[in-house]
């Protein structure tokens, strides 16, 4: 298989997830009918990425648009961008029914500069995004090309240290690689998604890449960004393994493990003038 085959498999996989997620309690789209509602993800991060009122923003890998619409509600003029047309159809419908305008454009992240053909004051992404991309340096180049001079970048992602983990008989085991080559992705064949609901994923084969924080940071620096803040967090936005416990919309490791491992990280950066 080559890169185009991986992207196509992942696109079909995410198309299948879109309907499952739209109907799920996890995403709870009806909450967005309240014009003041923000996604938990954006609510947590808004003070970290700063004021975006009136700023032209792009949300890379926006999926069904819940965070994109939340950015729009904070005053950004936002474009959501994603490879999955079915995800974008849900996002457009949500934007319409929730009365919060946003633009949604289909395409591969790596084609974003040419497909969008403009620059932005804020580039936002994360929460299960970069793990679908083989080449982190090429991704950082895209981020840099999309940013206008002085523009800000914000990412919150699953911590690469958790990517290798699986739960077996109530214990965490290291099953998958931390480091692996671009041409050797980790492949999954799972017909259920990370949300509730009993919908099945028909195109169950998907391909992922783990990106160490050092690779992400070095790629951003190497493509001209200045890192302002790097943080690590003790919670996740999804249930990675069955032993995790939910508290107020976030997933934590059980008490004995909670202070022993990071689960997410976030980066705020900017492109100098």
Ligand X SMILES: C[S@@+](CC[C@H](N)C(=O)[O-])C[C@H]1O[C@@H](n2cnc3c(N)ncnc32)[C@H](O)[C@@H]1O
Where on the chain is the footprint of ligand X (CB under 6 A)? 7, 10, 14, 61, 63-64, 66-67, 82-84, 87, 108-109, 127-129, 132-133
User: Tokens 């793990």 label which residue?
Assistant: 131
Identify which of residues 139 and 273 has a Cβ nearer to ligand X in the complex. Answer: 139
Task: Return d(Cα 80, Cα 65) in angstroms, integer.
Answer: 7
- What are the strands of the beta sheet with 226-233, ordered from one edge? 103-106, 77-82, 56-60, 120-126, 147-158, 264-270, 226-233
Identify which of residues 78 and 83 has a Cβ nearer to ligand X in the complex. Answer: 83
Distance of closest approach, residue 60 Cβ to ligand X, in angstroms? 7
User: Tokens 């790629």 label which residue?
Assistant: 219
Identify which of residues 24 and 87 has a Cβ nearer to ligand X in the complex. Answer: 87
Task: Return d(Cα 30, Cα 172) in angstroms, integer.
Answer: 36
User: Tokens 């206008």 label which residue?
Assistant: 148
Phi/psi of residue 230, each to 5°? -125, 120
157 contacts 233 by C-beta, under 8 angstroms: no
Distance of closest approach, residue 87 Cβ to ligand X, in angstroms? 5
Identify which of residues 1 and 173 has a Cβ nearer to ligand X in the complex. Answer: 1
Distance of closest approach, residue 203 Cβ to ligand X, in angstroms? 12
109 contacts 10 by C-beta, under 8 angstroms: no
Identify which of residues 163 and 174 has a Cβ nearer to ligand X in the complex. Answer: 163
Distance of closest approach, residue 224 Cβ to ligand X, in angstroms? 22
Distance of closest approach, residue 191 Cβ to ligand X, in angstroms? 17
């Amino acid at each position: 298989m080559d890169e185009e085959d991986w992207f196509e498999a992942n696109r079909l996989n995410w198309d299948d997830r879109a309907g499952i997620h739209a109907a799920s309690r996890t995403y709870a789209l009806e909450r967005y009918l309240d014009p003041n509602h923000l996604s938990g993800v954006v609510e947590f991060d808004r003070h970290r990425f700063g004021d975006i009122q009136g700023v032209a923003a792009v949300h890379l890998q926006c999926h069904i648009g819940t965070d994109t619409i939340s950015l729009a509600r904070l005053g950004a003029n936002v474009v959501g961008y994603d490879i999955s047309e079915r995800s974008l159809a849900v996002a457009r419908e949500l934007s319409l029914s929730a009365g919060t305008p946003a633009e949604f454009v289909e395409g591969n992240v790596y084609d974003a500069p040419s497909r969008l053909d403009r620059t932005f004051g804020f580039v936002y992404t994360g929460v299960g995004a970069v793990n679908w991309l083989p080449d982190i340096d090429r991704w950082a180049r895209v981020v840099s090309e999309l940013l206008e001079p002085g523009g800000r970048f914000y990412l919150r992602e699953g911590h690469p240290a958790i990517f290798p983990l699986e739960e077996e008989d109530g214990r965490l085991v290291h099953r998958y690689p931390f480091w692996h080559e671009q041409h050797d992705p980790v492949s999954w064949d799972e017909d259920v998604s990370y949300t509730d609901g009993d919908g099945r994923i028909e195109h169950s084969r998907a391909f992922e890449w783990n990106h160490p924080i050092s690779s992400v940071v070095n790629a951003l620096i190497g493509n001209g960004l200045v890192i302002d803040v790097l943080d690590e967090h003790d919670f996740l936005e999804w249930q990675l393994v069955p032993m995790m416990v939910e508290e107020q919309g976030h997933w934590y490791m059980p008490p004995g493990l909670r202070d022993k491992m990071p689960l997410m990280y976030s980066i705020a950066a900017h492109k100098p003038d």
